[in-house]
Amino acid sequence: MTLTASSSAPTLPAPRPDRPLLKVCGLKYPANVAAVAALPMDMLGFIFAPKSPRFALKSLDAAQMRALPVTKVGVFVNEAPAVIRRIALHFGLTAVQLHGQESPAVCAELRAAGLPVLKAIGVGAELHLQQLEAYAPHCDYFVFDTKGPAAGGNGTAFDWQLLRGYSLSTPYLLAGGLGPDNVAALRELHLPGLAGFDINSRVEQEPGLKNTALIQEFISELRG
């Protein structure tokens, strides 16, 4: 089955010159989803990787998800494209975020099926931007996250200055250890290609359960 532009799901937001985009990732519980969806952010992320403590497949309410008037991003790790498409249709996802070792061809296949693609890139002590050139034509955003024991949600930041030499046309979100305690530093970032931020583990009470007060604090301080 193919998603098309005529789908009732909202489109993936474009970068805005006047303010950074904000994605809250790792939501799991319906009541918490509703509470976070009421806050002024741009994207919500839902993890469909079985090994994640934020695995949401069995806890989300599909009818609620399809009715949410927000941008919904499904996060997958090395999942088969057919499975991704099936889950996206079931939950009314707007886009998918690929957080494993998916190839540029997989990204292209999902985009051809009508799903915008965010490709997560793990960053350690170094970042080899030339390795991303093959992905750039097939991705709407990159998500630069900190390499760690888990595919994401490790709660630590990498050296953001590694992105100072970014020259690709694909915009990106910054992830990894972002929360109210470092939002002042984020406001001062002026990196090429930076479109916004992806917050997760630093704004939750437990894996999958977000603290709406911390998210609101982050939003208020980030956008002033």
This prediction's pTM: 0.92
CATH of residue 207: 3.20.20.70
Cα 107 to Cα 1, 69, 160, distances in angstroms: 17, 25, 25
Predicted local confidence at residue 128, as pLDDT = 87
Tell whether 2 is covered by a domain: no
Is 7 domain-assigned?
A: no
Rounded mean pLDDT of 21-30?
98
Domain assignment present for residue 9? The answer is: no
Residues 59-68 have pLDDT tens digits of 999 999 999 9
Could you give the percent of the chain with pLDDT greater than 70?
92
In-domain check, residue 15: no
Q: Over the chain, what is the mean pLDDT?
A: 92
Look at residues 59, 61, 92 and name the one whose alpha carbon lies nearest to residue 74. 92
Secondary structure, 3-state, 110-132: HHHCCCCEEEEEEECCCCCHHHH
Residue 3 domain-assigned? no
Domain contains 10: no
In the predicted structure, residue 117 carries a pLDDT above the cut 80:
yes
Q: What pLDDT is attached to residue 224?
A: 78
In a domain, 11, yes or no: no
pLDDT surpasses 60 at 13: yes
> Which structural domain range is residue 44 located in?
21-223
For the stretch 45-55, pLDDT in tens is: 999 999 999 99
Name the domain count of the chain.
1
129 inside domain: yes
